[in-house]
Amino acid sequence: MGRTLMAIGALLLVVGAAIALFERFLPGIGRLPGDIIIRRGNFTFYFPIATSLLASIGLTLLFWLWQRLGR
């Protein structure tokens, strides 16, 4: 159980660092034209439709390449 928790923590650390670097080199991510942001007073609703689609396409291509190169 301890090793599993440490592996999950390390994975979260790597993902967090990748997101920070990704935002630094591609500053428009998260504010694409298809993303919905509603601000009313002290309430903000954010629904990143276009960013989610872009991430989904990127991860699909990454896993497809991983599967092709793994054979």
Considering only CA atoms, which of 5, 23, 18, 21 is closest in space to residue 62?
18
Q: What percent of the chain has pLDDT over 90?
A: 49
Q: What is the per-residue pLDDT across 10-44, written as a single tens digit (0 to 9) for each?
A: 999 998 888 788 777 777 777 889 999 999 999 99
Measured on CA atoms in the order 31, 36, 40, 41, is the torsion positive or negative?
negative
pTM confidence score: 0.60
User: Tokens 């190169």 map to which residue?
Assistant: 69
Let me know whether 42 and 66 are in one domain. yes
pLDDT of 71 over the 70 cut: no
Kindly state whether residues 37 and 9 are assigned to the same domain: no
- 13 plus 38 within the same structural domain: no
Q: Are residues 13 and 40 in the same domain?
A: no
Per the structure, the complete domain to which residue 67 belongs is given by 31-71
Report d(CA 30, CA 1) in Å as an integer: 35
Average of per-residue pLDDT across 39-51: 93
Look at the chain and report how many structural domains it folds into.
Answer: 2
What pLDDT is recorded for position 43? 96
